[in-house]
């Protein structure tokens, strides 16, 4: 009987893990330099935390269980409810603004398909306590800075930015009452994926009457903030109805320009976001080829903390999963610098010196150098072959000269150059002698 990984979930063998770590390290490095602090939470939450906002319907999308104490638990499907819970618990004690990031492993009981597994890692960046568009801009900047870090240019990816308050102004302008906005936003979220004729049909059906779908199309097609401002009055929208969000979006764009990232950004009202808790600016990052799902999505959620029993605090953030990102990086061949190779391989070239090989390896490792050796003494050719397979930069050969004079040979595996060094001299400054100097 052979066992396999659970369906829709991934094993990370060392070569896969190297890619995952390369991504996780990038997320962490970029987060830290943008002033975010890392947090984490248990793998599980009480099931209530998810049903409270989303209703019992969410349960079928979760991995859930009952523990021995009869408590209903669920494995985290997203990070934001946990963030809200943790911030609400210490809302008065935490210094503001709260700039936090996390990179949890999340699970969803979905049918596995391209770009979507039942388990994935998700980078989450959030700024809590700031209602200014500069915070939204900083979140987007942090995402873009990571994209640059992994060699994804403005030709490869685009940040599509909208504001839910504009969608709501449009819906109100078309006479759709507030209580139907959630349903309408759900339809808009699908608009980009459906043909216009089909969408018009769905749109009219959903509201039981003909709605000005052509006007909607014109508004959604606006490629800049100013284009929207010009088109809106033509389809009967009053300026007062969208002036607040347009002002914030203009400010956002000013900050995006200061951060030097407008080449990555585009105004695009097709972006609505599926989750109900967004209240303002929303954005998604897409592969420009249009072949993959969104790489990341986020926006402003000013009411979420209240929902979990906390105070009203403005908040903005985004999430980026590892699966679509990895696919894009593989497709575009941008996985550069992923490596699992060693630094130094110590070759045992003389009978009876195995203990000395171990001593030298021990000293190298204590000096912080990645050092390997063979467990059984093989002939020199085989040892050099192993060193080369492990990607060693340098080989240290312990042979007869070591026995006679405590001298080892150091070979640079790339240049092939070889030199002799006294072992004490070598170990006194091993990093400079071997790795930096090589």
Q: Interface residues for a second copy in 242-271 (CB under 8 A)? A: 254-255, 257-260
Listed as own residue / partner, the contacts of 192-195 with beta carbons closer than 8 Å and 24 or more positions apart are: 192/270
Q: Does 7 bind a second copy (CB under 8 A)?
A: yes
Shortest distance, CB of residue 118 to a second copy, whole angstroms? 8
CA distances for 325 relative to 27, 192, 294, 426, angstroms: 12, 21, 9, 43
Q: Does 351 bind a second copy (CB under 8 A)?
A: no
Shortest distance, CB of residue 336 to a second copy, whole angstroms? 17
For the segment 56-85, give every residue that binds a second copy (CB under 8 A).
Answer: 60, 63-65, 67-69, 71, 73, 75, 85
CA angle 94, 320, 335 (to 5 degrees): 125
Shortest distance, CB of residue 234 to a second copy, whole angstroms? 33
Binding flags for a second copy, 291-310, as an x/- string (CB under 8 A): -----------------xxx
User: Among 12-20, 166-174, 185-193, 194-202, which window interacts with a second copy (CB under 8 A)?
Assistant: 12-20
* Dist CA 272 CA 299 (whole Å): 10
The values of phi and psi at residue 250, to 5°, are -60, -40
Binding flags for a second copy, 137-166, as an x/- string (CB under 8 A): x---x---x--x------------------
* Residue 273 or 377 with smaller CB distance to a second copy: 377
Task: Candidates 196, 221, 358, 432: give the one binding a second copy (CB under 8 A).
Answer: 358
* Dist CA 141 CA 127 (whole Å): 13
For the segment 327-346, give every residue that binds a second copy (CB under 8 A).
Answer: 340, 342
User: Among 35-43, 210-218, 268-276, 422-430, which window interacts with a second copy (CB under 8 A)?
Assistant: 35-43
- Concatenating the DSSP letter of every residue in 333-397 gives T--TT-----SEEEEE-STT-HHHHHHHHHHHHHTT--EEE-SS---HHHHHHHHHHTT-SEEEE
Shortest distance, CB of residue 438 to a second copy, whole angstroms? 16
Q: Does 359 bind a second copy (CB under 8 A)?
A: yes
CA distances for 35 relative to 98, 134, 163, 403, 405, angstroms: 10, 14, 25, 54, 53
């Amino acid at each position: 009987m052979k066992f396999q990984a659970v369906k829709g979930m991934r094993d990370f063998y060392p070569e896969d893990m190297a890619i995952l770590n390369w991504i996780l390290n990038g997320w962490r490095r970029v987060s830290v330099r943008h002033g975010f602090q890392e947090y984490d939470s248990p793998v599980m939450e009480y099931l209530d935390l998810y049903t409270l906002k989303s209703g019992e319907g969410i349960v079928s999308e979760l991995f859930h269980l009952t523990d021995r104490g009869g408590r209903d638990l669920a494995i985290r499907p997203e990070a934001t409810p946990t963030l809200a819970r943790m911030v609400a618990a210490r809302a008065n004690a935490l210094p503001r603004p709260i700039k936090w990031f996390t990179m949890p492993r999340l699970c969803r009981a979905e049918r596995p398909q391209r770009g979507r597994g039942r388990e994935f890692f998700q980078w989450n960046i959030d700024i809590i306590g700031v209602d200014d568009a500069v915070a939204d801009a900083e979140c987007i900047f942090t995402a873009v800075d990571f994209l640059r870090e992994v060699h994804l240019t403005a030709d490869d990816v685009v940040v599509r930015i909208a504001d839910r308050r504009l969608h709501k102004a449009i819906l109100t302008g078309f006479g759709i009452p507030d209580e139907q906005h959630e349903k309408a936003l759900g339809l808009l979220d699908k608009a980009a994926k459906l043909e216009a004729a089909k969408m018009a049909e769905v749109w009219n059906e959903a509201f039981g009457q003909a709605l000005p779908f052509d006007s909607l199309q014109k508004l959604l097609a606006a490629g800049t903030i100013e284009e929207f401002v010009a088109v809106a009055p033509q389809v009967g929208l009053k300026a007062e109805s969208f002036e607040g969000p347009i002002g914030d979006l203009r400010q956002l764009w000013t900050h995006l320009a200061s951060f030097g990232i407008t080449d990555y950004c585009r105004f695009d009202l097709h972006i609505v976001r599926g989750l109900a808790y967004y209240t303002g600016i929303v954005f998604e990052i897409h592969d420009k080829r249009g072949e993959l799902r969104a790489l990341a999505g986020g926006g402003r959620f000013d009411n979420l903390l209240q929902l979990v029993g906390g105070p009203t605090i403005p908040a903005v953030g985004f999430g980026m999963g590892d699966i679509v990102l990895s696919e894009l990086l593989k497709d575009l061949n941008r996985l550069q610098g992923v490596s699992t190779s060693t630094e130094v391989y110590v070759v045992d070239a003389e009978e009876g010196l195995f203990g000395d090989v171990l001593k030298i390896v021990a000293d190298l490792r204590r000096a912080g150098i990645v050092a390997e050796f063979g467990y059984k003494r093989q002939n020199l050719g085989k040892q050099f072959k192993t060193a080369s397979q492990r990607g060693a930069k340098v080989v240290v050969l312990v042979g007869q000269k070591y026995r006679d004079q405590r001298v080892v040979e150091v070979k640079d595996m790339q240049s092939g150059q070889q030199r002799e060094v006294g072992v004490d001299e070598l170990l006194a400054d091993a990093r400079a002698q071997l790795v930096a100097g090589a």
